[in-house]
């Protein structure tokens, strides 16, 4: 028994004292509400239920931000986009990686405490429009919750990372995916899903945090008209749809990101997504608002019954989701404090809504918007520009399916009264596929998405936009040459933090937008930063790792920033002394061949382009120009080019994330795709031969 020497016991004691204080995480309603005043913890996705992403911590300020340095960093075994906001409770950071993996990290040392891998079958990546990403976890009563790409909602023990329960929230024979962070309200875990590009019917559900039992489900669009409505709200919705096809096509309205909760009004706010397919003409021939697409819904969190709704984009035809961040605040409008809800959805208007009634207070363009002239405050509806529904003629317009603002979190600083929006400027091209529309087991827009041959980098830009929601106008902006930048965090130290596509992590003054400090992160950053306080010190953390839909689909424009994916959790503090290892040298394998004219008919190549657009562009880039995250098919080396059929049909690269398309494509189709890719390679080769200025795509 008494084999331990006194010194061993002392050493053990010292270890116990120095070890991180991992006490049982008591995260509940009261704790999340209380965290609004106390900035030390970050307990929910948008920090607090109002999702302001504002922290009252003020140790790091505009005066001393120049002294920020890396406290520690953690290399992550991750090669796809990182979009999560880590949560922080009692000394531990909880976050997620691509392919729905979760982890807990000691916030003081950066040591991994546990990891959880739900083992997503890599073929499932085919159903994910926008990379195998995950936007984060939720915490409640000693548990960590994560939604997985294959539609599971999983509860983990916060201390060990071991699974407590798992629920399949979707029908996995359908192309549903989960990328969004769950929220927990009154002991119920709220989770939605994505998949509207692939033909699904949107819904979100509430599960009991303890037992995993489903409490309620709210469908955002009506289903099979021959069956009874699942809940009464769908009877109203059904009146706004036309034809009898939409429910077979899915309808859309998926709930894949923004949510907020007001404990005083006891209302849960949820944003819904675009129509499926995008083109209303095909989905609901003859028109209609198509409720509850692209809407903000206010619900009773106990019953799941609708209190009010506001439709942001009636009869959406452009992939204009209203899933963007929902932020609650009290603003002084017309001399009176008003409880408002704010959103900067994809469609480019900044909305301020009375969150008790759903009444629209104001809506103004926060960027380049050509699809609508204005939002009519009397009707709450947009005044659309002529021809914008592209029924007869294709159209180039702003914003695009990427949105003037995507999922990249914004923040609201009550001290400056400003909202910090990661603004995106990219044109959208739409064409009515009309009778040619085919519903594939792939990306279905009905809007000619496959036609796009590339998005030129000259056509895009971005900005950090400081928006005054009361005046409904810009306060200041920091322009960026690229659009796909990170989410924002604002703090009581008069600061705004943001990572950028070109691999910097930057602190600006919140009132004026003055650049105060910047850190070379070696990778493009798309996630939003967060902050916490531990043993009297304030830290700033961000998941750094380039990815998301832009680097997959985005072609040339997405390649422009060039920072690539090098996945790390970066944590900063004042006088932090750690540093990153030197950037590993890029190994570029030059393909040594002279492209030849493709031995195939123009019709075959055109058919290959259509198939490529529907099945491949979502990962390999529009126009066969890869955004840099996934191989550029024009540049495959000889062995892989020779294995084209086996790669695409037999799934020989499946473990690396390249799905099999055996259920959708015949060998002859694959040959056509290959010919299209080779024709693109040849066209680029010819362009490169020209001595003139017109040297185009990389």
Lay out the site mask for ligand HEC across 69-108 (x = CB under 6 A, - = otherwise).
Answer: ----------------------------------------
Whether residue 665 contacts residue 658, with contact meaning beta carbons closer than 8 Å, is answered with: no
Cα 213 to Cα 231: distance, rounded to the nearest angstrom: 19
Q: Is 599 a catalytic residue?
A: no
Residue 265 exposed, middle or buried by CB count within 10 Å (0-12, 13-18, 19+): middle
Whether residue 327 contacts residue 271, with contact meaning beta carbons closer than 8 Å, is answered with: no
Cα 100 to Cα 81: distance, rounded to the nearest angstrom: 11
Give the shortest CB-454-to-ligand HEC separation in angstroms: 17
Q: Among 427, 456, 631, 698, which residue sits at the site for ligand HEC (rule: CB under 6 A)?
A: 631
Query: Does 616 sit near ligand HEC (CB under 6 A)?
Result: yes
Residue 306 or 622: the one with the smaller Cβ distance to ligand HEC is 622
Give the shortest CB-620-to-ligand HEC separation in angstroms: 6
Q: Among 216, 497, 661, 676, which residue sits at the site for ligand HEC (rule: CB under 6 A)?
A: 661
CA 623 to chain centre: 23
Query: Does 165 sit near ligand HEC (CB under 6 A)?
Result: no
Q: Among 414, 427, 595, 657, which residue sits at the site for ligand HEC (rule: CB under 6 A)?
A: 657
Query: Does 651 sit near ligand HEC (CB under 6 A)?
Result: no
Judged by CB under 6 A, which stretch of 108-116, 225-233, 460-468, 633-641 contacts ligand HEC?
A: 633-641
Q: Among 114, 241, 292, 615, which residue sits at the site for ligand HEC (rule: CB under 6 A)?
A: 615
Judged by CB under 6 A, which stretch of 97-105, 207-215, 272-280, 647-655 contacts ligand HEC?
A: 647-655
Whether residue 545 contacts residue 559, with contact meaning beta carbons closer than 8 Å, is answered with: no
Sequence-distant (6+) residues with CB within 8 A of 586 are 564
Q: Within 13 A of 133's CA, how many CA atoms are on the CB side?
A: 32
Residue 694 exposed, middle or buried by CB count within 10 Å (0-12, 13-18, 19+): exposed
Give the shortest CB-442-to-ligand HEC separation in angstroms: 8
Q: Among 32, 571, 673, 678, which residue sits at the site for ligand HEC (rule: CB under 6 A)?
A: 673
Q: Which residue has the tokens 């920072």?
A: 563
Q: Among 260, 397, 516, 633, which residue sits at the site for ligand HEC (rule: CB under 6 A)?
A: 633
Query: Does 516 sit near ligand HEC (CB under 6 A)?
Result: no
The tokens for 685 are 């080769």
Residue 511 or 684: the one with the smaller Cβ distance to ligand HEC is 684
Q: Among 104, 341, 466, 619, which residue sits at the site for ligand HEC (rule: CB under 6 A)?
A: 619
Query: Does 658 sit near ligand HEC (CB under 6 A)?
Result: yes
Q: Among 307, 385, 653, 696, which residue sits at the site for ligand HEC (rule: CB under 6 A)?
A: 653
Residue 654 exposed, middle or buried by CB count within 10 Å (0-12, 13-18, 19+): middle
Whether residue 232 contacts residue 287, with contact meaning beta carbons closer than 8 Å, is answered with: no
Judged by CB under 6 A, which stretch of 182-190, 370-378, 553-561, 640-648 contacts ligand HEC?
A: 640-648
Whether residue 81 contacts residue 545, with contact meaning beta carbons closer than 8 Å, is answered with: yes
Query: Does 630 sit near ligand HEC (CB under 6 A)?
Result: yes
Lay out the site mask for ligand HEC across 112-151 (x = CB under 6 A, - = otherwise).
Answer: -------------xx-------------------------
Q: Among 659, 660, 672, 675, which residue sits at the site for ligand HEC (rule: CB under 6 A)?
A: 659
What sign does the dihedral 153-159-162-163 (CA atoms) show? negative
Residue 583 or 656: the one with the smaller Cβ distance to ligand HEC is 656
Whether residue 351 contacts residue 363, with contact meaning beta carbons closer than 8 Å, is answered with: yes
Cα 530 to Cα 526: distance, rounded to the nearest angstrom: 13
Whether residue 542 contacts residue 505, with contact meaning beta carbons closer than 8 Å, is answered with: yes
Query: Does 648 sit near ligand HEC (CB under 6 A)?
Result: yes
Region at 628 (left for phi over 0; alpha for psi -120 to 50; beta for the rest): left
Count of CB atoms situated within 10 Å of the CB of 213: 11
Cα 327 to Cα 212: distance, rounded to the nearest angstrom: 28
Q: Among 14, 34, 583, 656, which residue sits at the site for ligand HEC (rule: CB under 6 A)?
A: 656
Catalytic residue among 131, 316, 319, 632: 319
Q: Among 365, 405, 620, 675, which residue sits at the site for ligand HEC (rule: CB under 6 A)?
A: 620
Give the shortest CB-651-to-ligand HEC separation in angstroms: 10
Whether residue 367 contacts residue 348, with contact meaning beta carbons closer than 8 Å, is answered with: yes
Query: Does 600 sit near ligand HEC (CB under 6 A)?
Result: no
Residue 108 or 620: the one with the smaller Cβ distance to ligand HEC is 620
Burial 318-340 (b: 16+ CB within 10 A, else e): bbbbbbbbbbbbebeeeeeebbb
Q: With contacts defined by CB under 6 A, how many residues of the chain interact with ligand HEC?
A: 22
Judged by CB under 6 A, which stretch of 160-168, 491-499, 648-656, 682-690 contacts ligand HEC?
A: 648-656
Whether residue 283 contacts residue 275, with contact meaning beta carbons closer than 8 Å, is answered with: yes
Whether residue 607 contacts residue 600, with contact meaning beta carbons closer than 8 Å, is answered with: no
CA 548 to chain centre: 7
Cα 685 to Cα 697: distance, rounded to the nearest angstrom: 10
Query: Does 292 sit near ligand HEC (CB under 6 A)?
Result: no
Contact set with ligand HEC (CB under 6 A) = 125-126, 615-616, 618-620, 630-631, 633, 636, 640, 644, 647-648, 653, 656-659, 661, 673
Residues designated as active site = 319
């Amino acid at each position: 028994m008494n084999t331990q020497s006194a010194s061993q016991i002392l050493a053990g004691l010292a270890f116990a004292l120095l070890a991180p204080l991992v006490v049982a995480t008591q995260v509940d309603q009261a704790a999340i509400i209380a965290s609004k005043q106390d900035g030390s913890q970050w307990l929910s996705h948008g920090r607090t239920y109002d999702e302001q992403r504002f922290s009252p911590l003020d140790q790091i300020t505009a005066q001393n931000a120049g002294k920020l340095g890396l406290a520690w960093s953690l290399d992550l075994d991750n090669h796809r986009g990182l979009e999560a906001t880590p949560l922080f409770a009692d000394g531990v950071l909880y976050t997620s990686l691509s392919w729905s993996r979760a982890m807990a990290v000691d916030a003081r040392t950066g040591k991994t405490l546990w990891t959880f891998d739900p083992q997503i079958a890599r073929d499932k990546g085919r159903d994910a429009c926008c990379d195998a990403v995950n936007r984060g976890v939720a915490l409640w009563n000693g548990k960590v919750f994560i939604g997985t790409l294959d539609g599971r909602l999983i509860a983990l023990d916060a201390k060990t990372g071991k699974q407590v329960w798992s629920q399949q929230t979707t029908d996995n024979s359908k192309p549903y995916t989960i990328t969004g962070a769950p929220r927990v309200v009154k002991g119920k875990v709220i989770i939605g899903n994505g998949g509207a590009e692939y033909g699904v019917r949107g819904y979100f559900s509430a599960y009991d945090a303890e037992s995993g039992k489903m409490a309620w489900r709210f469908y955002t669009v009506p289903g099979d008209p021959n069956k009874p409505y699942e809940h009464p709200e769908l009877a109203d919705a059904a009146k706004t749809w036309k034809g009898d096809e939409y429910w077979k096509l899915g309808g859309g309205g998926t709930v894949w990101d923004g949510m907020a909760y007001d404990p005083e009004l006891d209302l849960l706010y949820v944003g819904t997504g675009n129509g499926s397919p995008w083109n209303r003409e095909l989905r609901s021939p003859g028109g209609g608002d198509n409720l509850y697409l692209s809407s903000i819904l206010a619900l009773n969190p106990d019953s799941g019954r609708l209190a009010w709704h506001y439709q942001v984009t009636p009869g959406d035809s452009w992939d204009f989701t209203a899933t963007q961040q929902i932020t609650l605040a009290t603003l002084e409008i017309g001399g009176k404090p008003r409880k408002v809800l704010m959103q900067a959805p994809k469609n480019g208007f900044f909305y301020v809504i009375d969150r008790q009634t759903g009444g629209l207070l104001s809506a103004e363009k926060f960027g380049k918007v050509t699809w609508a002239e204005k939002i009519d405050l009397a009707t709450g509806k947009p005044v659309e520009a002529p021809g914008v529904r592209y029924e007869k003629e294709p159209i180039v317009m702003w914003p695009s399916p990427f949105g003037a603002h995507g999922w990249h979190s914004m923040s609201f600083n009550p001290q400056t009264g400003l909202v910090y929006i990661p603004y995106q400027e990219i044109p959208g091209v739409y064409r009515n596929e009309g009778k040619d529309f085919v519903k594939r087991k792939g990306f279905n827009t009905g809007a000619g998405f496959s036609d796009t041959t590339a998005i030129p980098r000259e056509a895009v830009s971005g900005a950090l936009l400081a928006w005054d929601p009361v005046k409904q106008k810009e306060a200041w902006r920091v322009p960026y040459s690229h659009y796909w930048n990170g989410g924002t965090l604002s703090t009581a130290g008069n600061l705004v933090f943001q990572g950028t596509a070109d691999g910097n992590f930057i602190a600006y003054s919140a009132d004026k937008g003055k650049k105060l400090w910047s850190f070379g992160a070696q990778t493009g950053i798309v996630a939003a930063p967060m902050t916490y306080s531990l043993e009297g010190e304030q830290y700033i953390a961000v998941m750094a790792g380039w990815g998301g839909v832009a680097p997959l689909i985005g072609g040339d424009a997405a390649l422009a920033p060039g920072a690539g994916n090098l996945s790390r959790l970066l944590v900063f503090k004042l006088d932090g002394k750690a540093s990153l290892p030197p950037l590993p040298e890029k190994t570029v394998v030059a393909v040594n061949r002279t492209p030849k004219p493709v031995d195939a008919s123009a019709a075959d190549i055109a058919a290959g382009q259509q198939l490529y657009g529907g099945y491949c562009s979502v990962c390999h880039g529009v126009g066969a120009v890869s955004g840099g995250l996934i191989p550029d098919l024009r540049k495959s080396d000889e062995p892989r080019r020779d294995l084209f059929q086996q790669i695409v049909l037999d799934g020989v690269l499946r473990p690396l994330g390249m799905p099999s398309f055996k259920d959708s494509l015949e060998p002859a189709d694959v040959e056509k795709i290959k010919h299209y890719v080779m024709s693109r390679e040849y066209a680029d080769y010819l362009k490169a031969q020209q001595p003139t200025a017109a040297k185009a795509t990389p």
